[in-house]
């Protein structure tokens, strides 16, 4: 048996696709910045069947492009219809499935939500929530998803926390240039581990 391979010495590669889904929210009248009702961006996180907060994703069907699979999976799992804005860094990880080593690549996209009414597919996920950038980073159960979430935040103009810096304000707000602009035209244990 080859070291690191399954009991039969084989290894398979699998691909999946998903998205960092976001929407822009306007501040409620009279709500101070930093409060829950303040404006900004909200990011969609799901609570998977294993009890971990992560991003919507799923398998790519034969002949299906990763971008189409991402939009389909988001719609199926959450009811959200989206518009792909950009590609994000993929996530790669390994696991064993019935004694066979699996190398998985998940293609992620930055997706702007075109609706915000969640309709959860209970067969696959337990819950879903629209979270601030800071909340999404804090709840994310899989450490290897953080770079993808951070890239999404940067693409919509949010500052990514670096060594204790504040989270969630836009680059423009940090400079004092205004409200941060517009929407842009996309396991516990440290690894995304669901199959």
Least confident of 26-40, 73-87, 162-176: 162-176
pTM for this structure?
Answer: 0.76
Give the CA distances from residue 88 to residues 101, 115, 188, in Å, rounded to whole numbers and listed in that order.
26, 21, 22
CATH class of 11-175: alpha beta
pLDDT reading at 165 higher than 70:
no
Ranking 24-33, 94-103, 145-154 by mean pLDDT, the lowest is 24-33
Give yes or no for residue 15 having a pLDDT over 60. yes
Q: Would you state the pLDDT for residue 124? A: 84
Alpha helices in the chain (DSSP H): 66-78, 133-139, 146-155, 171-175
The reported pLDDT for the residue numbered 148 is 96
Query: Hey, what are 171's tokens?
Result: 């680059």
pLDDT at residue 71 in the model: 98
Q: Quick check: 151 and 141 in contact, CB under 8 A?
A: no
Per-residue pLDDT, 143 = 92
What average pLDDT does range 127-131 have in this prediction? 95
Token pair in block for residue 105: 């690549």
Average pLDDT over residues 115-126: 90
What is the mean predicted confidence (pLDDT) over 109-121?
94
Whether residue 57 has pLDDT greater than 90 = yes
Which one has a higher pLDDT value, 174 or 35?
35
Q: What is the reported pLDDT for 193?
A: 47
Average pLDDT, the chain: 81
Q: Check if the beta carbon of residue 83 is closer than 8 Å to that of residue 65.
A: no
Q: What does the pLDDT average to over 75-96?
A: 96
Question: Quick check: 8 and 98 in contact, CB under 8 A?
Answer: no
- Over the stretch 60-82, which tens digit does the pLDDT of each residue have? 999 999 999 999 999 999 999 99
Give the pLDDT mean for 53-59. Answer: 97
CA dihedral 100, 103, 147, 40 (to 10 degrees): -80
Please tell me the least confidently modeled range out of 40-49, 118-127, 164-173.
Answer: 164-173
């Amino acid at each position: 048996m080859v070291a690191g391979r399954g009991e039969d010495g084989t290894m398979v590669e699998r691909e999946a696709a998903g998205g960092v889904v976001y929407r822009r929210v306007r501040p409620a009248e009279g709500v101070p910045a930093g409060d829950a009702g303040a404006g900004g961006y909200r990011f969609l996180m799901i609570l998977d069947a294993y009890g971990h907060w992560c991003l919507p994703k799923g398998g790519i069907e034969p002949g299906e492009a990763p971008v189409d699979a991402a939009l389909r999976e988001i719609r199926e799992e959450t009811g959200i219809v989206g518009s792909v804005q950009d590609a994000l860094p993929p996530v790669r990880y390994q696991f064993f499935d019935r004694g066979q080593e699996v190398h998985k690549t998940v293609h992620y996209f930055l997706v702007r939500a075109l609706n915000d009414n969640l309709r959860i597919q209970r067969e696959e996920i337990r819950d879903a929530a629209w979270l601030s950038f800071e909340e999404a980073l804090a709840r994310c159960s899989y450490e290897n998803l953080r770079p993808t979430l951070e890239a999404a935040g940067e693409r919509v103009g949010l500052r990514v926390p670096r060594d204790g810096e504040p989270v969630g304000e836009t680059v423009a707000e940090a400079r004092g240039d205004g409200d941060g602009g517009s929407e842009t035209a996309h396991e516990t244990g440290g690894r995304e581990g669901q199959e």
